[in-house]
Structures are given as structure tokens and as C-alpha cells.
Amino acid sequence: MKSFQCPVCGNTTSVSPFQCKDYTVSKESFGIYTCEKCRYAATLPQPAPQDIGNYYLSEEYISHSDTKKGIVNRLYHIVRKRNTKDKLAVVSRFAAVRGSLLDVGCGTGYFLSVCRQNGWQIEGVELSNSARAVAEGRIGQPLFPSIAALEETGKRFDVITLWHVFEHLYDVNASFLQLKHLLKPEGGTLILALPNPLSADAVYYREYWAAYDVPRHLSHFSPESIRLLAEKHRMKVAAIIPMKFDAFYISMLSEGLKGSGKLKAFFNGFRHGYLSNHKAGKDGNYSSLIYVFK
């Protein structure tokens, strides 16, 4: 995308863009352009697909490294155990059967491992060679390096999950259709977890909001834009479920980006996470949301 055009509703008018910095790897700045109509937002300019891998080369990118260095990373691993139970509960609630499950962007394989322990037939896709190697060691089976490699097998799945992954994918419409076609036609369930740029913590932290994570997050989806995307491709949103822990974790990370010391980042992050969840209890705009599609 060299200029803004909303891939969801086609609108070419955006609200005033602002700049976000890549604090994790490159220290470069990128624009956040938000559609006036559906509130979908895009990171611009977007790195070329052949270059995007360079922006993941950091031990700080937790889902690819499994590092436990620092208080925020340790907190991530503590919360991950609870989140994994909650994710499995969502899958079990909406799946027609306990059959085949594909996790796209499976990172180091923690969720897949828990799913297999609970009776699921699992497959995973992970682009990062290092993360995929850790995941394969954890679950004891080979994983796919890309969705395209998986498509060649002709496999179809009862459930497909993307936990904070869809925002990383190029070409929103093609990616959504690709996932839809990997579902079994009868009773297939697609589950996406996404940051919500309309949440109170996103509005408060703005360019410091850690969940913008430019340029790795290419897209930033509002609830309305997700509903429109599903309708466009003849799927329906069966449920929207909050991820309440994310407001605290993202707020703490955001405080760090603002330059707050570790102790201040912890307490201020906890405070703004609480305030964000409190407001979301009224308007539904939690920091992260799980969307279940049928």
C-alpha cells in the first residue's frame, strides 16, 4: 500500500494520520492511517514482503523467542498460562466437534501443545525458522513454514485459530479468503484475536500504544471493520469475546515505550489497564478482542 485505500470498505479518506515508532528493532517511524467510515487502520508505508522478516529479528519479540528476561516478559509467561486455558475454552465452546485444529502463526507452539493434550489433532504454521524449531521440539511433529505450503496438502480443518496474527498478514481480503477455504465447509470455525485501536488504552497511549507494533502489525481492526470484512466474504461473526488481561500487559509495555521506569511502568500500566477494562465494560471496546466466525 503506497497510498491509503481501505481494503475493507474501499473508502479512500482517512482521519488525520499520526506517526508511530518501531521501538523493538529498526527505530524507524511509520504512519497510522484510519478509515473515516469503518475505522480500519493501516500501517504505511508497509515493508516489502521480502524485507518484513528483518523487523522480527529481536529477542524482545517474545512470541518468537520464549525469553523470560525482564519483569514484563516474565509477566507475559505467567499470563500466557491463563490465556491458554481461556483460548481452549473458546475453541471448545464454538467448535462443532473436537477434531482437527490449525494454529496459524503458532510461535513456539505452546497453544498447540495444550490443544493436543486435550484431544485435538493439530497442525501449525510458523514463518519464523527459530520459533518453528522451538515449536517442533515442543510438540514433536513438523510444522508448515507458510500457509501456501499447507494448502498443497489439501487438508481442511474444523477450527483455525490466529492469536494476534491476522494483523501481521498482507492483503486482508486474500488472507481472509485463504483461511476460509482451509475450513471444512460444514461447521468450520475461524477464530481471530486482534488488538482493538478503539480501546481506551489505545486512545490514551496513541503513538506509544504497544499494540500498534509497527511495522509488524500491518493492519489495525476496529470491531466494525471486522464485521464488514466477514460479511464481504459471506461469513458471520458468531461471538466477540474480550481478552481482559491484554489491557494490563499492553499498558505496561506502552508505559515502557514512553520512557517510564520499570516500577512506574508496572503501576501506571496496571492503572490504565484497569481503567480501560472499566470503560470497555460499558462500550465493549476492550484492548484485545476474540472474534469467532462461522
pLDDT single digits (tens) 37-69: 999 999 999 999 999 999 988 876 555 445 555
Check residue 240 and give left, alpha or beta (phi > 0: left; psi -120 to 50: alpha).
Answer: beta
> Could you tell me the residue ranges of all domains in the chain?
14-96+158-177+192-293
pLDDT above 60 for 241: yes
* Burial of 185: CB neighbours in 10 Å, binned 0-12, 13-18, 19+: exposed
- At 181-205, the pLDDT tens digits run 999 988 899 999 999 999 999 999 9
- Cell output for 12: 479512500
Q: Name the pTM for this structure.
A: 0.92
Check: CB of residue 286 under 8 Å from CB of residue 247.
Answer: yes
